[in-house]
Structure 1
């Protein structure tokens, strides 16, 4: 069975999507439609922009989403997913690719999500840190024992978790992780504490936008970040998408469940190859490829 997976923030690079734009009339049309919806030429920044320009809040999330979704659309009849999943932001790409959300609505939600997250980041000093070489339970226990807001935010693969929370609490937790035997515990160059309670203002703002958007039944099950299990009901998809901003990304569990449900090959759709690497670390037996 074929699983298609869609990357999240951080996968962006200068030149992303340019080849698609130049070689496919359908891709060009979708990119131009995106420029119109967003009210600025995001394609100029994607194709020619600097790393700093690509890192702008209003650019990063829509850029990764666009690259993934346009790529999926140009695969045409070759795109026959038995299941899909996306890492954090990638969940929106997965939902559009699987037909649960229209291209236009998906892009608008991703743009609103980026702006809402930016506002939440500016409200309080917060950050994230990668913890390598500890099991999930130890990471969770250290977070619980640490003073302040700090939670496990991304279960990327066994032995690689990302924690999220108040800056000072993250500093304390990183020291405690090292004492508990972590190979590394280092802060990430991100603007805030994604997938933590610090994103509550963003969750409320995005909830209203998601509630007002029409979702359809996807063509295949979507393994969402919050439950890490197969979901097909539009109302449940909405609920999970709203919870996603303050809840952890259960990537390890999602991939394990997809494999348990019959996935034998994983194709990454979008910029970079991070997810292929994570899938291999979760289960080295399954085949991985780029779209």
Structure 2
């Protein structure tokens, strides 16, 4: 533990470890016990699912018995005990009905609602236990990675959890419908790491500029800009090969490409038709009878800006499916916002705490890479991946 009189401008993750439940929560303790703490809630995206993600649920959640969950995962005749056991064992009737062999990587239309449900269960348990303490957690904003943006929308109260499940189920089905099995074999996604500074600088300038001229990624689509050293490409495998070769030649560098274990080319032009289905799904749930407000700002994937209204995040999330996730720029935007709105206006030191909710630790490890300069802030990061993680954290 740091001494009280120590000061760090940037507190990188992994300074202290505590093994909790099924995963490790990485603490980076604030060096000033009197510092002002602002919290950012983060929600993971697709690829974080696994067959043990509900193994420690201790009771059936009302959400699991809703008509939406029944129609997606069950036959409609299951008892409460059968429903809870299906979640615990990851043995849903729909997986058997569809003859899904690899339950670790179920169809997109099932994986997305399952990740959203598990993330919300963790978030709700955290908020429930937090309310029983004397801590007053001030929320700076929320954000999610791709699918996680819809989880953030539910966590912010813009839509109900059941409505969010409907949205991502429609989103997943539309993705599957717009890419044929024949196309799948030729398509994919690749993480590109060890990116030189000049290339990353050009990438970020290109995707945040309103005066885009020649494309910086002409051969395929940019799916994610995750950290200052990593981006993800999406599209035809041959096109991604050409794009990597072009960058290596133009920037005189050697890039490392890692194929991702996904079914579809997420955030690519091939999924642009999905936007129509998401828009229609929004129209079905947002009939104008409810005044929808966000309880907290959401930092949007597609422009890395703070969004304060439901109408704006709705419009952005509709087209997010075929546009890049600007994750690194989003984290930088949050740091700059907190530094400008809080840190420079108050003599009290400011701590910015990022908390991830989801089946696996995916976003938390990226925080330290995105926060290479904290602008005088203390940076902390945690990741909750099981209910046991949350329960033990408050013990």
Q: If the length of structure 1 is used for normalisation, what is the TM-score?
A: 0.87
User: How far apart are residue 29 of structure 1 and its match?
Assistant: 2.4
User: How far apart are residue 127 of structure 1 and its match?
Assistant: 1.8
Match of 2:255 in 1: 183
Which one is further off, 100-109 or 208-217? 208-217
Larger Rg: 2
1:71 aligns with 2:122: yes
- For residues 56-205 of structure 1, the aligned pairs below 5 Å read 56-57=106-107, 58-77=109-128, 78=130, 81-122=139-180, 124=183, 125-134=186-195, 135-137=199-201, 144=215, 148=219, 150-179=220-249, 180=251, 181-205=253-277
The structure where helix makes up a greater share of residues is: 1
Match of 1:36 in 2: 70
Q: Greater RCO between the two (CA within 8 Å, min separation 6)?
A: 2
User: How far apart are residue 188 of structure 1 and its match?
Assistant: 2.1
User: How far apart are residue 45 of structure 1 and its match?
Assistant: 6.1
User: How far apart are residue 139 of structure 1 and its match?
Assistant: 5.6
Separation (CA, whole Å) in 2 of partners of 1:47 and 1:158: 38
Match of 1:211 in 2: 283
Deviations 1:98-141 (A, max 9, x none): 11110111001111111111122227443211111223255688
Pairs aligned (count): 285
Match of 2:89 in 1: 47
Match of 1:9 in 2: 46
Matched residue SS, 1:131? strand
When residues 204 and 47 of structure 1 are mapped into structure 2, their CA distance, relative to the original with a 3 A threshold, is same
Which one is further off, 57-66 or 37-46? 37-46
User: How far apart are residue 7 of structure 1 and its match?
Assistant: 0.4
Separation (CA, whole Å) in 2 of partners of 1:51 and 1:228: 38
Matched residue SS, 1:130? strand
Give unmatched runs, 5+ long, in structure 2: 1-37, 75-82, 92-99, 132-136, 207-213, 339-350, 373-377, 385-395
RMSD, aligned CA: 2.7
When residues 230 and 71 of structure 1 are mapped into structure 2, their CA distance, relative to the original with a 3 A threshold, is same
Match of 2:26 in 1: none
Deviations 1:63-115 (A, max 9, x none): 11111012112223427533100000000111111111101110011111111
Separation (CA, whole Å) in 2 of partners of 1:278 and 1:171: 25
Q: If the length of structure 2 is used for normalisation, what is the TM-score?
A: 0.66
Match of 1:232 in 2: 308
Q: Are the aligned partners of 1:67 and 1:271 in contact in 2 as well (CA < 8 Å)?
A: yes
Match of 1:278 in 2: 366
Matched residue SS, 2:225? strand
When residues 276 and 158 of structure 1 are mapped into structure 2, their CA distance, relative to the original with a 3 A threshold, is same
Give unmatched runs, 5+ long, in structure 1: none
Matched residue SS, 2:150? helix
Matched residue SS, 2:162? helix
Q: Are the aligned partners of 2:47 and 2:262 in contact in 1 as well (CA < 8 Å)?
A: no
1:255 aligns with 2:331: yes
Which one is further off, 199-208 or 34-43? 34-43
Deviations 1:17-55 (A, max 9, x none): 232x21xx4x53223336324242697266345992141
